[in-house]
Amino acid sequence: MSNIRATYPLSSQARVEIVQGDLTQERVDAIVNAANSHLAHGGGVAGAIIRAGGWSIQQESDEWVRQHGPVSNSSPAYTNAGKLPARYVIHAVGPIWGEGDEDRKLADAVRGSLRLASQLELKSIAFPAISTGIFGFPKQRAAQIFFTTLNEFFKNEPASGLEQVRITLLDMESLQIFLEEGQHSLGEPD
């Protein structure tokens, strides 16, 4: 079960929630998968999504790559959510720490996911801390980029129908970092 730890306004209609919980259990329109460019969902968040949602997500991901080629940081793919409570899985490719230009690539992955959710006319989306697991992106830096990118997106995309953005974190270290950075970047929570 998810536990909302902090909520911040992003616009007159949108808010971001920092949540302690299991991303695969989120009851939102879409969850974001921290994917690799070939959508080979083996470990980390991607593996957990396949285990909880079923093999149809991997099959649809394979078909996406066959049709469109590898997924870029700025243009995520999307598939059905299988047996998950969400409707869609948005497959965002975050950077591997050390490959170069990581900050821009992470911002592109977050922005691309928000843009795709808006195009799909979704109202709610839940993110993991993209790239901070096996891809090695520093968590504090990732949190800063997440909040900066969220603020910029809602400032620049006032017509977005997104109302609820969740950052859903399972481990206590990530949760604490995102809570502290949320307060630093966005002020006191509601």
**CATH code of 41's domain:** 3.40.220.10
pLDDT on residue 98: 95
In the chain, DSSP finds a helix count (H) and a strand count (E) of 5, 7
185 and 142 Cβ atoms separated by less than 8 Å: no
What is the per-residue pLDDT for 2? 84
Place of tokens 């969740």: 166
State whether residue 54 is helix, strand or coil: coil
**What's the pLDDT at 158?**
87
Q: 85: domain range?
A: 3-186
Per-residue model confidence (pLDDT) at position 159? 87
Q: For 23, which DSSP code?
A: G
And the tokens for 67? Answer: 């049709």
Band of pLDDT at residue 189, cut at 50, 70 and 90: confident
For residues 29 and 126, is the Cβ–Cβ distance under 8 A? no
3-class secondary structure, 76: coil
Is the Cβ–Cβ distance between 132 and 102 less than 8 Å? no
How many domains, the chain?
1
Confidence at 145, pLDDT banded by 50, 70, 90: very high
Helices assigned H by DSSP within 11-101: 44-53, 55-68
Task: Please tell me the distance from the alpha carbon of residue 165 to that of residue 39, in angstroms, as a whole number.
Answer: 23
Predicted local confidence at residue 86, as pLDDT: 98
pLDDT given for residue 43 in this prediction: 85
pLDDT value, residue 69:
96
Alpha-carbon distance of 3 to 19, in angstroms, equals: 6
101 by Cβ neighbours in 10 Å (0-12 / 13-18 / 19+) ranks as exposed
Cβ-contact 3, 173 below 8 angstroms: no
The pLDDT tens digits of the residues spanning 2-45 come to: 899 999 999 999 999 999 999 999 999 999 999 999 999 988 89
Give yes or no for residue 173 having a pLDDT over 80.
yes
Provide the angle, in degrees to the nearest 10, between the axes of the packed helices 139-156 and 102-119.
40
Tens of pLDDT, residues 59-114: 999 999 999 999 999 999 999 999 999 999 999 999 999 999 999 999 999 999 99
117 pLDDT higher than 80: yes
Instruction: State how far the Cα of 183 lies from the Cα of 141, in Å rounded to an integer.
Output: 14
**Residue 18 is inside which H or E element, if any?**
strand 15-20
